[in-house]
Amino acid sequence: QKEVEQDPGPLSVPEGAIVSLNCTYSNSAFQYFMWYRQYSRKGPELLMYTYSSGNKEDGRFTAQVDKSSKYISLFIRDSQPSDSATYLCAMKGNSYKLIFGSGTRLLVRP
Amino acid sequence: GAGVSQSPSNKVTEKGKDVELRCDPISGHTALYWYRQRLGQGLEFLIYFQGNSAPDKSGLPSDRFSAERTGESVSTLTIQRTQQEDSAVYLCASSLRTGAGETQYFGPGTRLLVL
């Protein structure tokens, strides 16, 4: 079993929809949780960074962490075609090693 | 300012040949990381450099893989006697310091295809 599980998709939604992306994990030592966005043939770029449990909002993006369930989510409101990309969750404990999910491909249809 | 840069952006090589991949981190970043991303997969940690400390090589998949870093600047990842299973995107990242709360910034990657 992988330490971090993420549905690969693809997830196809119409423009303006609310998108929900999720990851589950098994290591209770993880404390830092990130979402990266990766456009085709580009490197990952950091979208959201959360420490421990709770919610964090930044514009149209909301990250949620539920450590009791070992479950994290990224919500995208009013999705745009430019949001079409692969979304990678990543997490770490008290070290520098990031553990990544396999990524979810998102397609927002105009 | 400039982000992390990597070269070449694409590399096609024949099985058995050696390849060298280069990473230029963000200026002033003391920590540097290499990852491998196979098609449809997440990123796998390969190696980590922090200043003049001994690197963490625990993610290197075999002794055909090695990496060097000169001080707090350029790093090269070398793959000797390449195999077809080495085909992947090799990503480099850097962070200002080491620490669990530090953000890693990624380069665009080098796409390696071994024929």
Predicted pLDDT of residue A45: 93
Tell me the pLDDT tens digit for each residue of B10-43. Answer: 999 999 999 999 999 999 899 999 999 998 788 9
Token pair 């990852």 is found at: B35
- In this complex, do B42 and A102 lie within 8 Å of one another by their Cβ atoms? yes
- Closest CA of chain B from A9, distance in Å: 10
B1 versus B8: the higher-pLDDT residue is B8
CB B13 within 8 A of CB B104: no
CB A98 within 8 A of CB B104: yes
- In this complex, do B33 and A96 lie within 8 Å of one another by their Cβ atoms? yes
Tell me the pLDDT tens digit for each residue of B47-66. Answer: 999 888 888 999 999 999 99
The stretch A8-23 carries a mean pLDDT of: 95
Predicted pLDDT of residue B1: 54
Q: What SS3 string covers chain A?
A: CCCEEECCCCEEEECCCCEEEEEEECCCCCCEEEEEEECCCCCCEEEEEEECCEEEEECCEEEEEECCCCEEEEEECCCCHHHCEEEEEEEECCCCCCEECCCEEEEEEC
Tell me the pLDDT tens digit for each residue of A33-56. Answer: 999 999 998 999 999 999 888 899
Q: Which of B42, B45, B103 sits opposite A46 (nearest CB)?
A: B103
